Amino acid sequence: MLKPLGDRLVIELVKQEEKTASGIVLPDSAQEKPQEGKVIAVGTGRITESGDKVAPQVKEDDKILFSKYSGTEVKYEGRDLLILRESDVLAVIE
Amino acid sequence: MLKPLGDRLVIELVKQEEKTASGIVLPDSAQEKPQEGKVIAVGTGRITESGDKVAPQVKEDDKILFSKYSGTEVKYEGRDLLILRESDVLAVIE
Amino acid sequence: MLKPLGDRLVIELVKQEEKTASGIVLPDSAQEKPQEGKVIAVGTGRITESGDKVAPQVKEDDKILFSKYSGTEVKYEGRDLLILRESDVLAVIE
Amino acid sequence: MLKPLGDRLVIELVKQEEKTASGIVLPDSAQEKPQEGKVIAVGTGRITESGDKVAPQVKEDDKILFSKYSGTEVKYEGRDLLILRESDVLAVIE
Amino acid sequence: MLKPLGDRLVIELVKQEEKTASGIVLPDSAQEKPQEGKVIAVGTGRITESGDKVAPQVKEDDKILFSKYSGTEVKYEGRDLLILRESDVLAVIE
Amino acid sequence: MLKPLGDRLVIELVKQEEKTASGIVLPDSAQEKPQEGKVIAVGTGRITESGDKVAPQVKEDDKILFSKYSGTEVKYEGRDLLILRESDVLAVIE
Amino acid sequence: MLKPLGDRLVIELVKQEEKTASGIVLPDSAQEKPQEGKVIAVGTGRITESGDKVAPQVKEDDKILFSKYSGTEVKYEGRDLLILRESDVLAVIE
């Protein structure tokens, strides 16, 4: 199992189709495009400069939108995973 | 539903016309131009380095002006949405 | 009405003449030139990293000098307005 | 009257001669050269990230040395003035 | 023995094979690839700007994933070691 | 007299010889070389973001080593002076 | 004697050989290589933005590894010394 550190998350990638399962269609533009993923594991949260721990806002199994090109890809037990910081998460899809 | 994280907002874009409904005419200059939107969803607010949460100043249904080219475009359930940070909001239109 | 967020102000531009009404003559040099404006609306103030709110120093109807090329232009109800941060205000003209 | 904001000062420029009145001769080198000025007006001081106000160290009528090319030039009521931040002041000449 | 300072760790490198012992296959892409290592020694933790010490999250013998190209290589007593900051650790492999 | 502000010092330059009076020989390398000076005047100290004043560590008449190319040169009453920040001081020579 | 300021250290360089006395062999790669030194003098420690002093972790006579190209070289009383910040120290060799 991968246990992410601090404000990091492990995400399973949701393959991009023209229209995703949750109904999101990614526009065909020059702007930065978000990508969809499912949260597999959550770190314990970031530590601020005052020494306080900030609890993560996302939890396991959350479906999220995140900025493409953020995070680090890794294949683990046959799954395409991505380790990214919670600050790269744009929104939770409910 | 998209639930934005931290100090992020989900905005529905208001299409730019030469003169918008609220009476704003965008000048024809080289400077950065603002864009109009309606707030669809609001995050829980940013966490400062002292660990304090800053409550968002905008709320759902607010009409806002924001810096063009800020945020991330996404199509969701047929609507043109934008996820941006509250710090990219210039003003609320009342 | 435009209600600026945080440490932002809405300013009405004062057209540059060779000698402005308040007696300021802008020098003909390569340095950054200030511009004159009147404050139309004031945000609630910036939030520091300790979570404290800093009250704005300028108020409505103040005449101010600000750094040229700062802020974002917008036309609203026929007026040339500019939304800028209080930190871009150089001085109040009294 | 110009009332500078925050940690800004209004300075009246002292014209550079080969040897200034106070005995400072500016060296003829490639390094950044300081410039002499008289303080005309002082802001209320900068606000730190903890929300504390830092009282200005210079006062009206102080003669100061400051880094050339810092600040913003303005002509006001026939005088060559400069608006700069206190952090650009190198030393007070006593 | 090497005793790392602050938020640094000493890591023994795990040689990259096409499929590593723990089942991680590194994808063949243009993105930044993580690397696997075993923690040999842990510093006492970073000091925040508030003067608080943040206890390290990893411990000796932990298997970790870290960003390739982070840290400083050193050979010590015949072993390939790497000294890196805990913030470069992506996840602990459990 | 020059009274430096905040964390600044006024330094009198010690001319570089091949071997200086205090026995320091500057190596002939591509690295940044330090320079020797005598402290003439000391500011009241820097103010941290928490609003605390940090007392200067050097005092008048201290001989110091500082990074070459730091600070601002000024000639004052016939002396070659330099105004620099205490953070540019490498060491006191005792 | 050289007395370093704040979080600085004075280090005596240990000449690089193919295999150093402590058994460290520096790898022949494109990555940044560490260098070995002995601590000669230690500053009183850095001051955080909260005004707290952080005690140094290294002490006199410690053998350390530090990032090559960090710090400032100086020859003093016939010895090759280096003044560097404690944050450039990678590890203490015990």
Fold of A8-15+33-93: 10 Kd Chaperonin, Protein Cpn10; Chain O (2.30.33)
Taking 60 as the threshold, does the pLDDT of residue B72 lie above it?
A: yes
Mean confidence (pLDDT) of chain C: 85
Least confident of A80-89, B35-44, C19-28, F71-80: C19-28
Closest by alpha carbon to A64, among A42, A36, A86? Answer: A36
CATH entry 2.30.33.40 includes domain G8-17+32-93: yes
Model pLDDT, residue A25:
60
Confidence of residue A17 (pLDDT cuts 50, 70, 90): low
B23 pLDDT tier (thresholds 50, 70, 90): low
Residues of F with CB under 8 A from a CB of G: 23-27, 29, 31-34, 48-50, 52, 54, 57-58, 65, 67, 86-87, 89-94
Give the model's pLDDT for residue B34: 77
Among F23, F49, F94, beta carbon nearest to G49 = F49
**Side chain identity at G44, as an amino acid letter?**
T
B21: confidence class by pLDDT, cuts 50, 70, 90: low
Which pLDDT belongs to residue E13?
87
The span from the CA of F38 to the CA of F18, in Å, is: 18
pLDDT bin (cut points 50, 70, 90) of residue D30 is very low
Instruction: Spell B49-60 as b/e; 16+ CB within 10 A means b.
Output: bbbbebebbbee
| Beta carbons of A89 and B5 less than 8 Å apart | yes
Across chain F, mean pLDDT equals 85
Q: Please state, rounded to an integer, the average pLDDT across all residues of chain E.
A: 85
- Rounded Cα distance, D81 and D1, in Å: 12
User: Within chain A, how many helices (H) and strands (E) appear?
Assistant: 0, 10
Nearest residue in chain E measured CA to CA from A47? E54
Q: What is the mean pLDDT of residues A1-17?
A: 88
Identify the pLDDT of residue A5. 96
CA–CA gap between residue G71 and residue G78 (Å, rounded): 19
Which residue of C14, C57, C65 to mutate against D (max D Cβ within 10 Å)?
A: C65
- CB-defined contacts A:B, below 8 A: 71
E-G contacts (CB, under 8 Å): 70
Percent of chain D topping pLDDT 90: 62
CATH architecture of C1-17+31-57+72-94: Roll (2.30)
One CATH from 2.30.33.40, 3.40.50.1240, 3.40.50.300, 3.40.50.10420 for D1-15+42-94: 2.30.33.40
Instruction: Nearest by CB to G3, from F24, F86, F94: name it.
Output: F94
Q: Which residues contact A87 (CB under 8 A, 6 or more apart)?
A: A7, B6
Q: Give chains near G: 3+ CB pairs under 8 A.
A: E, F
* pLDDT 10s digits, D34-53: 789 999 999 999 999 999 99
- In chain G, residues with a C-beta closer than 8 Å to the C-beta of F91 are 2-5, 8, 10, 41, 83
Q: Can you tell me the distance from the alpha carbon of F28 to that of F20, in angstroms, rounded to the nearest whole number?
A: 14
Q: What is the 3-state secondary structure (H, E, C) of B15-49?
A: CCCCCCCCCEECCCCCCCCEEEEEEEEECCCEECC
Give mean pLDDT, residues B34-54: 93
Assign B30 a pLDDT band (cuts: 50, 70, 90).
Answer: very low
Closest residue to B50, CB basis, from C50, C73, C74: C50
Mean pLDDT, chain B, integer: 85
pLDDT at residue number B27: 53
Most confident of D27-36, E24-33, G57-66: G57-66
* Residues in chain C closer than 8 A to B67 (CB atoms): 72
User: What are the residues of chain D with a beta carbon less than 8 Å away from any beta carbon of chain F?
Assistant: 23-27, 29, 31-34, 48-50, 52, 54, 57-58, 65, 67, 86-87, 89-94
How buried is residue D44: exposed, middle or buried, by Cβ count under 10 Å (0-12/13-18/19+)?
middle
Set of chain D residues whose Cβ sits within 8 Å of the Cβ of C90: 4-5, 8, 72, 74, 83
- Distance between A63 CA and the closest CA of chain B, angstroms: 10
Quote the radius of gyration of chain B (alpha carbons, Å): 14
Q: Tell me: pLDDT of D25 over 70.
A: no
Query: Could you give the 3-state DSSP secondary structure of residue C13?
Result: strand
Top residue of F90, F93, F94 to mutate, by most chain G CBs within 10 Å, is F90
- pLDDT of C30 strictly over 50: no
Cα distance from E63 to chain G (closest Cα, Å)?
A: 20
Residues 6+ positions from C83 with CB-CB distance below 8 Å: B34, B65, B90, B91, C2, C4, C8, C9, C10, C11, C71, C72, C74
Q: Look at B3 and A91 and tell me if their CB atoms are within 8 Å.
A: yes
Alpha helices per DSSP H over chain E: none
Q: Do B6 and A57 lie within an 8 Å CB cutoff?
A: yes
The residues on G that touch F, with CB distances below 8 Å, are: 1-6, 8, 10, 41, 44, 47-51, 69, 72-77, 80, 83
Express as a percent the part of chain B with pLDDT over 90. Answer: 62
- The CA-atom distances, in angstroms, between G7 and each of B8, D2, G36 are 38, 42, 19
Mean pLDDT over G64-87 rounds to 89
Chain F residues with beta carbon closer than 8 angstroms to that of D23: 76-77
Q: Give the highest mean pLDDT range of A80-89, D69-78, F15-24.
A: A80-89
- Which residue from F33, F57, F91 is facing G2, i.e. has the nearest CB? F91
On the question of pLDDT at A45 being above 90, the answer is yes
Among A14-18, A89-93, C17-21, D88-92, the least confident range: C17-21
CATH number of this structure's domain B8-22+32-93, picked from the four choices 3.40.50.300, 2.30.33.40, 3.30.365.10, 1.10.260.40: 2.30.33.40
Torsion region of E88: left, alpha or beta (phi above 0 gives left; psi -120 to 50 gives alpha): alpha
User: A86 vs B5: CB contact, 8 Å cut-off?
Assistant: yes
- The interface predicted TM-score of the complex, written ipTM, equals 0.79
Q: Which residues of B touch C88 (CB under 8 A)?
A: none
Give which of C35, C83, C31, C87 is closest to C63, Cα–Cα: C35
pLDDT the model gives residue G26: 55
Q: Does residue C31 carry a pLDDT above 70?
A: no
The domain at F8-14+33-93 falls in which architecture?
Roll (2.30)
- Interface touch F2/D92, C-beta < 8 Å: yes
> What is the nearest CA distance from G77 to chain E, expressed in angstroms?
30
- Residue spans per domain, chain F: 8-14+33-93
Question: Which architecture does CATH list for E8-15+32-93?
Answer: Roll (2.30)
In C, which residues are within 8 Å of B27 by CB distance?
73-75, 80
- Residue predicted with more confidence, D74 or C20: D74
Comparing alpha-carbon positions, the chain A residue that sits nearest to E57 is A5
Q: Would the pLDDT of D19 be above 80?
A: no
